[in-house]
Amino acid sequence: MGIARFGRGAGAAAALAALLLASGCSTAQTAPPRAAPAAAPVAAERPNVLLILVDDLKPAIHSFGDPVAVTPNIDRLVARGTRFELAFANQAVCAPSRMNLMTGARSTSSGIYDFGENLREYMPNAVTLPQYFMAAGYRAESIGKTFHIGHNTVGDPQSWSTTPYKDHVIEYVSPEGKALGKTREAALFNEFEIPKGDVWAYARTLGRGIAWESPDVPDEAYGDGRVAAKAVGRLGELKAKGQPFFLAVGFARPHLPFSVPKRYWDKYDRAKLPLPSFERMPDGAPAFAGKVGGEINAFAPIDPETREADYPEELKRTLIHGYYAGVSYVDAQIGKLLAELDRTGLAKNTIVVLWGDHGYHLGDHAIWTKHTNYEQATHLPLVFAGPGIGAGQATRQLAETVDIYPTLAALAGLKVPAGPQPIDGTDLTPVLHDPAARVRGYAYHAYPRPNRLGQAIRTERYRLVRWTQEQTGARDYELYDLVADPLETRNLAAAQPEVRARLDALLDSQPKPKPTQRLTRAPATKPVANP
């Protein structure tokens, strides 16, 4: 069945609001919450929320320790708040990771591990993060890429007070890019009206896009520039409404293709950009733990028959250059949002969260995108700033994407979220007051392979990945010492059985994971084509 669409009836909405505010528990709910709960009485000082989501953003940020990244605006946000140096995706792929964020539930709790596995088909009664704020009297809006839309995955319209604004993820403005016409990745992202049937099969009939372009155009020539402009305009309008708001703003770059205005490419000297440091799988790692090809092969001039480690050096440099150009482009868009917060006076009463949906390999382990359980794919930037949050702080507290939901609820003075979906996250507010505080000694993430589930525990020093064969229960392990071996070059699972056993016990203490097999259902409803 496709995703259910519900009306905006005020009666059920008011009941949900009363339930949340009175008891902090939504487990009595028996039907999916409606799109725009009626406003409940809200304290005048209740903070607004600006949630900034960036696709494929690893901590390639100057204030996170990357010496080559040109990110003055994110650095300014970091100076205003608390950065988490050890924050991790619960799963290193766009659609499930965003489900983790919006529901507070890990993929292993929801069963959503892949594209085409839609929220209301797996958790029909879930109260998403923006819904939770709507129930408390907030207006919730989405601009840009928040939920992943594409690859047979649809959005969640009942999570917002009004229709979300969606812009392009795959877009070319150079003459050579435009000349390509319809490309396979554009089809997968629903950038144009697509025929009925299997979108993956249809996409395979189309040509490839180009992996990068650098035309001399204004920011608004691409979707991210338009998203920033739309969000800047809405901030002033939302302030005028006088109702607290939850505004989610999502940017597509540095996701492929690296289609970025020339001036952001010009910020970097390609010869000085770092090349991959370790271009093979870890010694002793199971072969199925890695990734070959995939998304990178959807773009020219990539040769699908060439091993990633064997790409010509000039190609590697160009891909890395394009990624960093994308980071700086998005940094400039974030700067526009921060400037508008300052201009309107909203900064003093707005909690700002910056989150990358997962990391990115950039050639390390001979992998160029994500979709693994390794550090490069799972490590993400996370920043909280605003009222009640310490400024200029850095913490080594381990954090997960699912922690954002309960942390934002606590910062806004709302009751502790209670579902009805599993809320796997931990409230990080003690760390926002004192970066030396600790609320949990590890982060958890997972990634599946055919017939196997890889569950991982990441401590400040180690990562253990336990691969379980779902039919037989057979297990394989990977153990890495991230202090002695930050590039994860050697699997220590056999050499350090005591550490393996200790971290394995932590995995055993987690909720039992849902199987990776898809639900049996009809194809998902095809999302509306891009405007």
Tell me which residues are annotated as active site.
94, 148
Distances (CA, A) of 37 to 47, 371, 477: 18, 36, 46
Beta strands in 148-211 (DSSP E): 209-210
E strand or H helix at 395, and its extent? strand 393-400
| Under 8 Å between Cβ of 219 and 333 | yes
Distances (CA, A) of 515 to 107, 309, 512, 519, 520: 10, 33, 9, 10, 13
Distances (CA, A) of 265 to 211, 258, 302, 322: 14, 10, 20, 7
Task: State the DSSP code for 376.
Answer: H
Q: How many CB atoms lie within 10 A of CB 247?
A: 22
User: Is residue 350 helix, strand or coil?
Assistant: strand
User: Is residue 336 helix, strand or coil?
Assistant: helix
Residue 248: partners with Cβ closer than 8 Å, 6 or more residues away: 51, 53, 130, 140, 141, 142, 143, 146
DSSP β-ladder status, 350-356 and 379-385: antiparallel
Angle at alpha carbon of residue 331, lines to 325 and 77, rounded to 5°? 150
User: Is residue 109 helix, strand or coil?
Assistant: helix
